[in-house]
Structure formats: C-alpha cells, structure tokens
Amino acid sequence: MTSASAPRFAVVLIVLDGERFLAEAIDSVLAQSVEDWELVVVDDGSRDATPKIIAEYESRDPRVRGIAHADRRNLGMSASRNAGVAATCAARVVLLDHDDAFEPRKLEVLGALLDERPEAMAAFGPNLRWRSWRPGSDEVDLVQDLGAASGMLPPPGTLPVFLTRSDATPLGPMLRREAFESVGGYDPAFRGMHEDQAFFARLMLRHPIALCDEVLHRYRMHEDSCVAAAHRSGTALAARRRYLDWLEEELERSPRAGDAELRAAIVAARPSRRAVLSARLHGIALSLKAGPPRRGRDPRAADSNGSPQGPA
C-alpha cells in the first residue's frame, strides 16, 4: 500500500486469549464515525478461540487484518504493539487492548485535535473506568482524572502526574507515526506491567502533547486484567520499582536530563525493597490459601520478573 492510498488512521489492537472480550473491542472500531481506517489485530500467541474470531472479522471487512508473531510465539505487550504499528501504513496510529473499547467518535475527535495542533505529537483524553460492563451490574463508572486541563502540554506532559498516580496513565492515545518511531516504539523489556507508562515517559520527555476533555475510551475493570493479577500475586510493587529504575536511566538519556525536580520525584515514588518483599510474600500467602489457579488462567502470563503480562 502506498502512502497516497494509505488510510487516515491505523488502529493496533493487541490480544492474548481474548475470546471473552475481543469481539466487543473490534466492534467498537467498526462503529467509528469515520470510515477511513485500518485495523491490525496482533495475536500474541493465543490458545483459545481468538484466531477464529479474528478470521471471522477479516472475512467480513477488508479493513481488518490479523497478524501473529513467528511460530505464534508469546512475546508480550510491547513487542506486540511494535509489530502492529510496523504492519500498518497510516500516518496516525491509535492503540487498543482487547478488553477495552472505543467510543464512536474517538478517531474523529482525536484526528481533529491533531489537525488543529500540528505541533502535538500525540492526543488523548480521559478514559472511563468501566465497571458497569457486566450485565445487570450496579457498579458506578468513573471518569479518569488526568491531572491536567485540556490543551497543549510541553514536555514532560503529564508524566509528573502519572509518576505519582498510576491511575492517571493515558490509554489509547492517537500518535503521529513519526513520534512513535522517534522514541523507538515500546520497550520490549516491558512485556506487561508499566509498558504504557514507559512508552509515555519516553514520548513526553521529548514531545508536546494535546489533551481533550471528552471521554473517548472505555477501560474495562475486571479480575483477569494484567493490573488486577499483579496486585493479587503481590508482584505489582516489584514491577513498579523496576519501571522507576528504568525511568531514572531514561531521564538521563532524554533532553530533560538536568531536571532535578523530576529526578527527585522518581526517587520518591520508588517503593522500598522491604515493601516489595512484603507484598510478594503476602501474594504468595494468598495464592497458597486460594489453592491452584482456576481453570483457564494462562500460565504464560508472567514476565521474567514475575509480573503478569498480557493486555490489561
């Protein structure tokens, strides 16, 4: 496909054993108010009905295409996002996990925002913390607090906010392809936890971003998510410490290497080794009390540091 014939938007959807939610995620792309898009679904080694679901959508809409790693290996979230972006042609890329969903005007609104703000390398808004997705649920959905007003933000963007509040981490941004490539994409070392935070840190240390105040992304809250599994297993603090160690080094490699305030914030946010060990022992105790994992939990869902991996 030539650049002249490339669609305006590329959506990269990553999935690992996502038969429960995948169709809803794909449907949310099909329901967009604009039609000039391509959707690449990256299967990160699924063993359930995920390949069949992808094939069904491929047969129904030529804009949908599924890919997988060589030998259908499981390489983690960062490698999957990178593979998906590499397989697309559009100048603007949007990211989606298999258990989340877009609002119908997502591509339209963020595309217009980047048109209005040519200096912005990425655009996003608050997501909906989606708890009411279960049929008959009376749980209350909450709108994410990004900690910043809509408009342009120079480097370091909202990094100081999600450095101290992980729940302020952006989700599903629209990225200019050149910005994604300029920071080297996602770091494959982050197979699961903090892969988004690491990418956004790289991006925001170097490029301005644009924020809108419209909710355009639904972040599904459920017990099998990467984040929930990490907290349940007691590995969340270890993953966070590893990320902050990485971030301190990344700061030194960035144009903001002399930002003493940001460096101090990184150091202050790092959990102690004692806290990491205590959380892990607590997770082990809970695991022993609960007995063997329930049927269907994928044993591959842990990276080399014991942190769950797979779309959150």
**Is residue 2 in some structural domain?**
no
Q: Does pTM top 0.75 for this prediction?
A: yes
200 with 257, same domain: the answer is no
Please give the residue range of the domain that contains residue 285. Answer: 228-290
The last residue of one of the domains, among 204, 224, 244, is 224
**Is residue 299 in some structural domain?**
no
155 with 173, same domain: the answer is yes
120 with 46, same domain: the answer is yes
55 with 165, same domain: the answer is yes
114 with 45, same domain: the answer is yes
| Burial class of residue 142 (count of CB atoms within 10 Å of its CB; 0-12, 13-18, 19+) | middle
**Is residue 20 in some structural domain?**
yes
The domain that holds 77 is classified in CATH as 3.90.550.10
The last residue of one of the domains, among 191, 224, 257, is 224
The helix (H) or strand (E) run that includes residue 152 is: strand 151-153
- Per-residue pLDDT reduced to its tens digit, 125-180: 999 999 999 988 899 999 999 999 999 999 999 999 999 998 999 999 999 999 99
- Per-residue pLDDT reduced to its tens digit, 44-96: 999 999 999 999 999 999 999 999 999 999 999 999 999 999 999 999 999 99
72 with 204, same domain: the answer is yes
Task: Work out the pLDDT band at 308, boundaries 50, 70, 90.
Answer: very low
Handedness of CA 70, 16, 245, 218 (dihedral sign): positive
**Is residue 283 in some structural domain?**
yes
Length of the chain: 312
**Is residue 3 in some structural domain?**
no
Which residue type sits at 71? D
Pairing mode of beta strands 101-102, 217-220: antiparallel
| Burial class of residue 220 (count of CB atoms within 10 Å of its CB; 0-12, 13-18, 19+) | buried
Total count of domains within the chain:
2
Which residues does 142 contact at the CB level (< 8 Å), separation at least 6?
128, 129, 131
The helix (H) or strand (E) run that includes residue 101 is: strand 101-102
